[in-house]
Chain A
Amino acid sequence: MLIAHAKGCRVCFAYCRTELEKLGWDETALSQVCANPETLPLRERDRAFLQYALRTALDPGGLKLQDFKDMEARGLSKSDIRELLAFAAYANMHMTFTLSQVGWLGEA
C-alpha cells in the first residue's frame, strides 16, 4: 500500500487497502499509516520490512552495507532480506503494468 501510495498507483493502492481491510484494518488506521508510516503499531521486524521494502522500491541503488546489517539486527534473516528485495522488485514491475494500463484505458 505504501509503495503504491508513493508511486501514485491508485489501482494498486485501492487493492492493497481492500486486502488490509479484510485483515481487520479500518480506513482511519490505514490513512494514518499512509500519512505517517513511522507510527505503525508493528513489531520491530515488521517495521524494518516495511521501511526497507519501501526504500528498495523507490531507491534500490541507495542501499548500503550498513542497511543490510540494520535489517539483520532488527530480526530479518538473509533469506528474509532476499524475499524483501524481490517483493520490492515485483511491486515495481506490477505498478509499471498497472499505471500503463490505467493510462491506456484513460482512467488516470
Chain B
Amino acid sequence: MAFFQGAAEHRVPPETREYIELLQRRVKPGRVPEVFYALAEHPRLLKAWVEAQQAFIPIPNRFGAAQHIAGMLIAHARGCQACFSTSRAVLATLGFDDAALDRLCESPGALPLEERERRVVEFTLRIARDPGTLRAADFRELEQAGFSREEILEMIGVAAYWNLATTLAMAVDAGLREE
C-alpha cells in the first residue's frame, strides 16, 4: 500500500476544490496529476502551490509557448513525470503535437523556435538547473539582446517555480508509489 493516497474526485474537501478546479481548467482536456489530489487534505499547501503556479506561469503569459516549453524541458531533465505531463497538456492546447514535443525533449539544442523564444527557453532552463553558475555577464548579454530587466526577472520566476514544482511533485509522487 502506498504511503499517500490521492483524494477521489468526489471526496476533494470544499476548501480545496477551487484549486483543483483551477488546475483542471489549465490542463483540460488532460487530467490533473495525482500529486495534487494527494495534497487535497492539506489546503494551505495546495493553495500555496497553485497560487505560485498562477503567479509565475500564468496563462496567457508574456513569453507564450516558450515558457511552457521551458517547463517541459526542466521537468524532463529532472525526471518529474507529473510536471512533464502538465506542461505537455498545456502545450497541446496551444497546438503542439506529441511528435513535435518528443523532438524538443530529445534535442533541446535544436529548438525550432524564433531566436527570442529560443533564448527564453535556454536561459530559463539554465537558471533552473544551475543558478549558482550565473554571472553578471550572462544577464548583460540578455539585456543587450533586447530583454528588459522585468522580462529577465520573469524568467527567474519561471525557473524558480519549476524547481519548487518538480521537487514537491517528485517527492509526493514517491509517497504515492507502492513497493
Using a CB–CB cutoff of 8 Å, the interface residues on chain A facing chain B are 7-9, 56-57, 60-61, 63-69, 72, 78-79, 81-83, 85-86, 88-90, 92-97, 99-101, 103-106, 108
Neighbouring B residues of A72 by C-beta, 8 Å? 3
A86 to B39, CA, bound (A): 10
- Which A residues touch B79, using CB under 8 A? 61
Q: Is the interface of A mostly helix, strand, loop or mixed?
A: helix
List the count of A-B residue pairs having beta carbons below 8 Å apart: 116
For window 11-62 of chain B, which residues contact chain A by CB distance below 8 Å? 39, 41-42, 45, 48-49, 52
Assuming the A-B contacts A96-B156, A104-B134, are A61 and B78 also in contact, with contact meaning beta carbons closer than 8 angstroms in the complex? Answer: yes
Which A residue sits closest to B142, measured CB to CB? A104
Interface 9-residue window, one of B63-71, B89-97, B114-122, B157-165 = B157-165
Q: Which of B138, B167, B172, B177 contacts A65 (CB 8 A)?
A: B177
Q: A63-B175, A92-B167 are in contact. Are A99 and B136 (CB under 8 A)?
A: no
Please provide the 7 A-B residue pairs with the shortest distance between their CB atoms, ordered closest to farther: A103-B134, A93-B164, A99-B131, A89-B168, A63-B174, A106-B136, A68-B3
B72-83: CB near A (< 8 Å → 1, else 0) gives 000000111000
* B145 CB–A CB distance under 8 Å: no
Query: Which B residues lie at the A interface, using CB under 8 A?
Result: 2-4, 39, 41-42, 45, 48-49, 52, 78-80, 127-128, 131-136, 138-139, 152, 156-157, 159-161, 163-168, 170-172, 174-175, 177-179
| Residues in chain B near residue A101, CB distance under 8 A | 156
Rounded to whole angstroms, the CA-CA distance of A104 and B42 in the bound complex is 36
In the assembled complex, the Cα of A104 lies from the Cα of B49 at a distance in Å of 26
- B136 near A61 with CB under 8 A, answer no
Q: Which residues of A contact B2 (CB under 8 A)?
A: 65
B3 near A69 with CB under 8 A, answer yes
Contact of B139 among A56, A99, A103 (CB under 8 A): A103
Residues of chain B within 8 A of A82, CB atoms compared: 39, 42, 45, 172
Q: What is the minimal beta-carbon distance from A90 to any residue of chain B, in angstroms?
A: 6
The 12 sampled A-B contact pairs (Cβ below 8 Å) are A61-B79, A61-B170, A61-B174, A63-B170, A65-B3, A65-B175, A82-B45, A92-B164, A93-B160, A96-B156, A103-B133, A105-B136
A26 to B157, CA, bound (A): 34
Contact of A56 among B4, B152, B171 (CB under 8 A): B171
Q: Are A93 and B161 in contact (CB under 8 A)?
A: yes
